[in-house]
């Protein structure tokens, strides 16, 4: 298992070096273009947005629509029936500490069916329903909780802090493959999305799965679904953000090292760019997003606006110092700038230091928080410990 994670890491690193050689990749801060971001508080019609009701009724829906049309495609919520079936195929790896449930979520629409697996651990002796943290997983399969081993999904630590935690694997709804991505929920339930250039793609499918997990949480009396967090790392961190934007049932949204098309500002063109990501992973975003390759300045949105979609709920970004491909500074800036939503619309002031380069401690506060740790692109126990501090503060 550790071995396969190691090889995945090597693969990602070598793929990135090939891409760096192939494209003119900028990782020099002095070459970042001056930032001219679209204004989140001016509507399409030119109206200046100053109140919660203008934000929630005019501008927020407008922005969701733009992200849907131009970047991610929708996460469709219509289906005819959903059923939850508890199966017991694997042994509980945390016997005595946690309750372990394997749940098959079966959804049908227009006579077609799709089924996905959710793995759930709950604190064994909790006197009340537990808050839950969902990890969107694109790495090793998680049937028996074994991705716990390296800190990527540290179930034992999460349980000991009183949270329930669940995970599903992206492959159960959409293979992470440019040729085969539709061979899952898209072909099965939403085939009309495929020919649509603004349609649902991989992140829409993974987000759909996260929403079905939430449907389950709302039905399980051992879970306090009002206190639900969605976490994703990297490509799954992009998914977590888009899901959190669309589905307001998540009270906390956490995106770890999600970089281009996730937390990082596209207009900085630092590390991975819109062109690079769309060439390497054409199945992640919808076709319209490809129009912005080398034309980031004409995007009607940028990722600070995606961070804003979480308000008034809570949002947390995290970076790793050596993960320059994901542009840590661009991740920080999009959160810092996007967090104006709390201060300026919801009258809940948040503050982020200006000096990113010397940031040492996590920015731990209500509504929006951040940390950068030493080291490489990965999701580690250190990251999780900060996440859980943030969740506790925000629930
Ligand atoms: C990289 C990709 C990034 C990031 C990463 C990952 O190869 O360029 O956008 O998503 O994979 O998911 O680990």
Q: Do residues 135 and 103 make contact, with C-beta atoms less than 8 angstroms apart? A: no
Closest listed residue to residue 104, CA positions, set 172, 43, 183: 172
Q: Which of 170, 234, 260, 303 to mutate to test the pocket of ligand 1 (most atoms within 8 A of CB)?
A: 234
Q: Which of 130, 142, 228, 234 is catalytic?
A: 234
pLDDT in the model for residue 5? 44
Residue 10 has pLDDT above 70, yes or no: no
- The burial class, CB within 10 Å (0-12 / 13-18 / 19+), for 112 is middle
Residue 7 has pLDDT above 70, yes or no: no
Residue 6 has pLDDT above 50, yes or no: no
pLDDT in the model for residue 335? 98
pTM of the model: 0.95
CB atoms within 10 A of CB 15: 11
Residue 8's pLDDT band, with cuts at 50, 70 and 90, is low
Both structure tokens of 373: 């740790």
Three-point CA angle 206, 67, 193, nearest 5°: 55
DSSP string, 212-249: HHHHHHTT-TTEEEEEEEEEEETHHHHHHHHHHHH-TT
- For CA atoms 119, 253, 245, 269, give the dihedral sign: negative
Ligand 1 atom closest to 15 (CA) = 7
- Tell the residue nearest (CA) to atom 1 of ligand 1: 12
Residue 149's pLDDT band, with cuts at 50, 70 and 90, is low
Average pLDDT over residues 330-348: 98
Report CA(250)–ligand 1 centroid distance (Å). Answer: 24
Q: Do residues 204 and 193 make contact, with C-beta atoms less than 8 angstroms apart? A: yes
Q: Which of 9, 13, 152, 259 to mutate to test the pocket of ligand 1 (most atoms within 8 A of CB)?
A: 259
pLDDT in the model for residue 145? 52
pLDDT in the model for residue 140? 72
CB atoms within 10 A of CB 311: 23
| Model confidence pLDDT, tens digit, residues 35-63 | 999 999 999 999 999 999 999 999 999 99
Report CA(259)–ligand 1 centroid distance (Å). Answer: 8
CB contact burial 126-164 (16+ within 10 A = b; e otherwise): eeebbbbbbbbbbbbebeebebbebbbbbbebbbebebb
Domains delineated in the chain: 2-393 (3.40.50.1820)
Residue 15 Cβ inside 6 Å of ligand 1? The answer reads yes
Ligand 1 atom closest to 259 (CA) = 9
Residue 260 Cβ inside 6 Å of ligand 1? The answer reads yes
377 is catalytic: yes
Residue in the block written with tokens 């912005």:
292
Q: Which of 114, 367, 377, 386 is catalytic?
A: 377
Q: Do residues 238 and 261 make contact, with C-beta atoms less than 8 angstroms apart? A: yes
Residue 9 has pLDDT above 80, yes or no: no
Residue 339 has pLDDT above 90, yes or no: yes
3-state secondary structure of 47: coil
Average pLDDT taken over every residue of the chain:
94
126 is catalytic: no
């Amino acid at each position: 298992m550790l071995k396969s994670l190691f090889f995945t890491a090597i693969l990602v690193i070598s793929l990135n070096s090939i891409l760096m050689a192939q494209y003119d990749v900028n990782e020099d801060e002095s070459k970042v273009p001056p930032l001219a971001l679209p204004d989140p508080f001016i509507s399409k019609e030119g109206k200046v947005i100053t109140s919660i009701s203008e934000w929630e009724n005019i501008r927020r829906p407008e922005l969701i629509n733009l992200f849907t049309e131009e970047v991610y495609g929708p996460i469709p919520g219509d289906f005819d029936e959903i059923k939850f079936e508890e199966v017991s195929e694997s042994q509980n790896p945390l016997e005595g500490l946690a309750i372990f449930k394997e749940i098959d979520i079966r959804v049908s629409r227009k006579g077609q069916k799709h089924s996905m697996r959710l793995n759930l651990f709950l604190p064994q002796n909790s006197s009340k329903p537990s808050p839950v943290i969902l990890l969107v997983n694109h790495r090793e399969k998680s049937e028996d909780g074994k991705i716990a081993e390296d800190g990527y999904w540290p179930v034992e630590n999460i349980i000991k802090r009183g949270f329930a935690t669940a995970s599903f694997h992206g492959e159960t709804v959409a293979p992470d493959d440019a040729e085969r991505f539709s061979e899952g929920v898209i072909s099965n339930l939403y085939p009309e999305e495929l020919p649509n250039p603004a349609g649902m793609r991989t992140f829409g499918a993974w987000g759909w799965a996260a929403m079905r997990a939430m449907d389950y949480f709302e039905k399980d009396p051992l879970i306090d679904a009002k206190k639900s967090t969605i976490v994703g790392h990297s490509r799954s961190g992009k998914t977590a953000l888009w899901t959190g934007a669309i589905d307001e049932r998540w009270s906390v949204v956490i995106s770890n090292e999600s970089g281009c098309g996730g937390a990082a500002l596209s207009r900085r063109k630092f590390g991975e760019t819109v062109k690079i990501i769309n060439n390497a992973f054409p199945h992640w975003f919808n076709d319209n997003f490809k129009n912005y390759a080398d034309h980031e300045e004409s995007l009607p949105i940028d990722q600070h606006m995606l961070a804003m979609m979480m308000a008034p709920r809570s949002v947390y970004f995290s970076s790793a110092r050596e993960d320059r491909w994901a542009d840590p500074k661009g991740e920080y800036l999009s959160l810092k700038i996007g967090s104006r939503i709390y201060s300026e619309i919801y009258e809940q002031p948040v503050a982020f230091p200006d000096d990113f380069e010397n940031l040492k401690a996590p920015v731990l506060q209500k509504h929006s928080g951040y940390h950068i740790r030493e080291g490489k692109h990965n999701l580690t126990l250190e990251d999780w410990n900060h996440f859980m501090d943030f969740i506790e503060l925000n629930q």
